[in-house]
Every structure is written in C-alpha cells, then in structure tokens.
Copies of this chain bind each other. A is one copy, B any other.
Amino acid sequence: MSSDMNTVHDWLNAHLTESVEELAQFLRIESVSTQPHHSRDVEKAALWLRNAFTAMGMSAELHPTGGHPIVLAEWRGAPPGAPTILIYAHYDVQPVEPLAEWTSPPFEPTVRDNRLYARGAADDKGQLWIHLMAIRAHMACHGALPVNVVILVEGEEEMGSKHLRPFIDAQCGRLAADCIVISDTPMFAEGIPSVLSSLRGMAYFEIRCQGPSSDLHSGQYGGAVRNPAATLSRILASLHGDDDTVAVRGFYDEVQNQAPADRARIRALPFDEELFKSEIGVTALAGEKDFEVLERLWKRPTCEVNGILSGYTGEGAKTVLPASAFAKVSFRLVPAQTPQEIERLLASHIAGLAADGVTTTVRMLHGGMPWSADVAGPAFDAAQRALTTAFGRAAVIAGSGGSIPIVRDLEDALGAPVLLIGFGLVGENAHAPNEWLSLNNFRLGAHAIAELFVELVQLPELAESHA
C-alpha cells in the first residue's frame, strides 16, 4: 500500500459515519420500480442521485427513457493513457411486501448489530454508495482519480432493464471502457472477498388459469365445475420430477457440461453447508443429487414458484370455488439456455396439460441471458489484489445463482471485461423482508474499490500483453 493510499484509507475511516448517514437518505426514497404507485419515488431517487454525483465533482445527467430515467455521471480527468472504468449500478429496489415481517420499516434505515437494515441496503443502493465513497476519498485526498470513471445507474434493474439496452447501444462510444465494475452481489462468505465468474440467466412468467366467470359456492358447484386452483396446482406440480430436476421437456437440452477445472475450483471453496442451512432456517437442503450445493446454485438451471394466489386466503373458512388462479414462476438459466427457448418449451409443456373448462395463459414478464467470464485476465488479477489488500485475506473466484442480465449486454456492447465484486453477505435478504448490509463490509468495500482504481491504472498495457 503506497503512502498515497494511506491518506485515502484514513479519509475513508474518518468519514464512515457521515457516509452511512448520506446513504440512509438515499435508502429512504421508496424507489420500487415494478409498482406503478411508486413511480414518482423512482424519479425522486434518480434526481437525488444526480445531485449527489454533482456535489462530489462529477458531471452528471438524467436520461429519460420510456420508463424510469438513467443517471449517467462522468469524471475524465485522469492522466493521458489512464484507463476508463465503467461502474454500473441500479437505484431501484425490490417491493417490500410482506410488510408485516419487517422488524424496522423498510424505508427507515436502522442500524442493528453493525448492520444497516433497509430495502436496497444490499441491493443495490448500499453497494453503489461504496463506490461513491472510494471516489470521494481519492478526490478529497488528491483532487483527482487515478483512472477515468463513468457511472451508469439505471432504475429498472428489478424489472428487466428494458430501457437500458437501447441506451447502451446508442451511447456505446460514451460508455466505452477498459473494464466494467459492478457491485450488486454478496461476497462468497463473511470475511472472504470474491470476484464472480458466472451469473444465471432468467425467464420469469405469470401463469393464469381462468375457470368460471366469478367465484362459485363450492357446495353448489363442486364436483361438476373444473377448479382453476386445482388446474394451476397440477401445472405447478408438473414442473419438477421426483428427483428435483425440472420436468419441462427439453429444458436441459442446451445446458453445457461444466469444465473440470471449474468444477474443481468450486469444490475447493470453503463452503459450510451447516452454516448455510442454519442461516436460512432449514434442516435439509434439496435439489439435484448429482451436484454439490454450490454447483446447484451457480451452475445448474432451476425452476422456482415465486408466488401463487387464488380464491379465499383470509382468516377462517370460505367455501368458494375460485373463478381464477395465478402463479409467478421463474427459471434460472445457464449457458447456453435462452429465455426465448424456455418460453417456447414452457408454453408447449402447459399446452400439454390443457383441461376442459379452464383456460390457461402464460406470459413472460422478463428474461435475461446467463453469463460466464474468462477469469484468466489482468482485470481479475487486479480485483483479487485490491480485495486481498483491503480485507487482509485472499479473494476467491466464485459463482452466483442470481441474474444481472445487463452484465452480458454490457460486456457484448463494450467489449470489456466485467468485474463483479460484491460486498453483500449470504442471508442479507436482498429480495425479502429485513434486507441488510454489513457495515464492516461497507467500510472494507470502500477501501477495496479505492485500491482497485489504483490497481487498474496499468490495465491497458497488461491487457495488451495478455491478449
């Protein structure tokens, strides 16, 4: 660590409390992108963020889209020959329901046990804020960054990034970078920093079964009228085999075999299955028997029922034969599956389960391609060094079962390597009640990103020699 960096690290330590308070302001904005009644909040978060970028010495603009705006910030004052780093993040958050399960309200950031609890704390406002702290530390100590930085922040990640794709294509030149850095994932484990080598893709559907034109008395009609909740249950049950594989015909046809080296690296990771189970409160895990837990999570495609609603679900008993039923069902994909192919296979699977008296429709809500990286390059080396310095422990290469569809789009459009450096933790409840971010990771993450900027200065030369 150079003495130049000592002042940066000192600055970060000295400004920790202040930074958490600023982040809390950001977290208070209820920017739930998928819920129309929050659309003004989403807009507000974009404006707030633009102002934050401007205040820290970057030029920043709001780009309207057909949906929620994109915030683009730039600082291009690095010495000639220095690389350009593109940081991608999102300012939108997941819905907060079921609200009753939150210990403190989702939009009132609260610190407990050195964790910051709020919707968006980990996914992704808190992780974006780590980058902003690193930038401010460099600026405050040296009046400049060692690299050029472009920050691209969208408001539609949780709804499929529909408007970001055309924006990237249109602004390709302006977004051009030597390396893309994204912090929107958990670390491999507490104390073990990591860079990701893969993400699963996604195909998310709503399946709706419509029976009679309105709810019926289950006594006066039951036995002669097909029940759409029963039909939906049969469809959902048909999606898996008894061995926990996905039972949609053709689902595994495009799945590539894992490389032996990849498999060996995963099996060498210090995964604690008992801790994993206890963190989520289950006594047994499930899934495909031929694969280790981490392989099931990172390298195997899956199907999950995300929600079901039909009929009477209040207290007590109501003898209703429901008029309709719907489920939200999503598939996680691995190379070389595509959302379009899964949509076709699912439609055909469901058509095979047609039952007189109930009409079933399937609609894809969003999709994204899977992604995997070549980890043998100078960008990955730089990231591992920066993380190791900040956390005082060797960083590992890991996978993720989640989906950030835009990763692949950015990589394809800009032709630059993507570093997925997450500072969340397993159990952070990213899409559930009581989401939190470790304040220790918040601090160490900022040190790591500040180091990363320095480590990436020589990237252009190294990339040339690697190629």
A352-400 CB contacts (< 8 Å) to partner B: 355-357, 365-366, 400
A285 CA / B211 CA spacing, docked (Å): 10
Chain B contacts of A318 at CB under 8 A?
34, 94-95, 158, 306-307, 328, 431
Residues A229 and B236 in contact in the complex (CB < 8 Å), given A212-B281, A281-B212:
yes
A132-146 CB contacts (< 8 Å) to partner B: none
Taking a contact as CB atoms under 8 Å apart, the answer to whether B212 and A282 are in contact is yes
Of the candidates A101, A221, A236, A281, the one having the most CB atoms from chain B within 10 angstroms of its own CB is A221
Taking a contact as CB atoms under 8 Å apart, the answer to whether B321 and A214 are in contact is no
Chain B contacts of A315 at CB under 8 A?
34-36
Of the candidates A36, A202, A238, A432, the one having the most CB atoms from chain B within 10 angstroms of its own CB is A432
Residues A202 and B226 in contact in the complex (CB < 8 Å), given A308-B313, A322-B307, A431-B319:
no
- Residue A219 interfacial (CB < 8 Å): yes
- Residue A304 interfacial (CB < 8 Å): yes
Residue in B213, B226, B281 whose CB lies within 8 Å of A286: B226
Tell me, rounded to whole Å, the shortest Cβ–Cβ distance linking A48 to chain B: 23
Taking a contact as CB atoms under 8 Å apart, the answer to whether A304 and B230 are in contact is yes
- Residue A320 interfacial (CB < 8 Å): yes
A219 CA / B426 CA spacing, docked (Å): 12
Chain B, residue nearest A219 (CB): B402
Tell me, rounded to whole Å, the shortest Cβ–Cβ distance linking A97 to chain B: 6
- Residue A263 interfacial (CB < 8 Å): no
Tell me, rounded to whole Å, the shortest Cβ–Cβ distance linking A420 to chain B: 13
Of the candidates A158, A232, A236, A301, the one having the most CB atoms from chain B within 10 angstroms of its own CB is A236
Chain B, residue nearest A291 (CB): B223
Chain B contacts of A287 at CB under 8 A?
223-225
Contact with B along A398-421 (1 / 0, CB 8 A): 001111000000000000000000
Residue in B204, B288, B313, B429 whose CB lies within 8 Å of A319: B204
Chain B, residue nearest A424 (CB): B220
Looking at A171-179, A292-300, A448-456, A457-465, the stretch in contact with chain B turns out to be: A292-300
Residue in B101, B325, B432 whose CB lies within 8 Å of A217: B432
Taking a contact as CB atoms under 8 Å apart, the answer to whether B280 and A306 are in contact is no
- Residue A227 interfacial (CB < 8 Å): yes
Tell me, rounded to whole Å, the shortest Cβ–Cβ distance linking A324 to chain B: 10
Taking a contact as CB atoms under 8 Å apart, the answer to whether B282 and A226 are in contact is yes
Chain B contacts of A322 at CB under 8 A?
305-307
What are 29 A-B residue pairs whose CB atoms fall within 8 Å in the complex? A34-B315, A34-B316, A95-B314, A97-B312, A101-B214, A159-B316, A202-B319, A214-B429, A217-B431, A218-B330, A218-B332, A219-B332, A220-B401, A222-B304, A222-B401, A224-B285, A224-B287, A225-B285, A226-B284, A229-B236, A230-B236, A232-B233, A306-B317, A306-B320, A311-B328, A316-B365, A317-B365, A318-B328, A319-B431
Given A214-B434, A222-B401, A320-B432, 8 extra CB contacts under 8 A = A34-B317, A158-B318, A213-B282, A217-B432, A223-B296, A223-B332, A234-B237, A307-B320
